[in-house]
Amino acid sequence: MNTSAAEVRIQEVRTTDDELLVAFVDGRTLSVPLVWYPRLFRASPEQRSEWRLIGDGDGVHWPQIDEDLSAAGLLRGRTTPAVRDLSPLEGSSAQGGDDIAKGPVHVTPREDGWAVKREGNERASSVHPTQREAEQKGRQIARKDKTEFFLHNKQGQIQERDSYGNDPYPPKG
């Protein structure tokens, strides 16, 4: 199935006690174990029910628990780094080292500046006084790890996105 970037948009999200259910605008639905996302798993049903779309459905944000997941990451079966470390992907080394894919990098606003945060991580890897400084650090990490980069605006919406070696929509030809 060929899927354009415009089709990989989240329309609706809901959770049960043990599943995350995501409906996409192209009609697909996805059901994944909630334990893949420990912050969501540990959150109360009320906290999980309060979510908002990022951009036009590029991702979903739960403000009460500060969790962000991208549509592309969900479709690729990305879990949080802690879960990946516990459950190495098929074909990865026994030590769980470099063979494990790393999640996208997000630059998001905070009260005390701009955070650089890997998708699914509970804490920011760094905080910077300006968006520009955070963007430079976030892009550096994304390039090194060959993953996606998301720059959010002051309202938390995705302003810009780039892929560094792990493009979900590579050009044809």
The full set of domain ranges for the chain reads: 7-163
Q: What per-residue confidence (pLDDT) applies to 168? A: 56
Q: What per-residue confidence (pLDDT) applies to 81? A: 58
Q: What per-residue confidence (pLDDT) applies to 107? A: 93
Q: What per-residue confidence (pLDDT) applies to 67? A: 87
Q: What is the DSSP string of 16-48?
A: -SSEEEEEETTS-EEEEEGGGSHHHHHS-HHHH
Q: What per-residue confidence (pLDDT) applies to 123? A: 81
> Per-residue pLDDT tens for 102-149?
788 999 998 889 999 988 777 888 889 999 999 999 999 888 888 889
Arch. (CATH architecture) of 7-163: 2-Layer Sandwich (3.30)
Q: What is the DSSP string of 69-100?
A: EEHHHHHTT---HHHHHHSPPTT--TT--TTS
What span, in angstroms and rounded, lies between the C-alpha atoms of 116 and 110?
A: 10
Regions of the chain where pLDDT drops below 70: 1-7, 80-101, 166-173
Provide the pairing of β-strand 148-152 with 19-24.
unpaired
Q: What per-residue confidence (pLDDT) applies to 156? A: 84
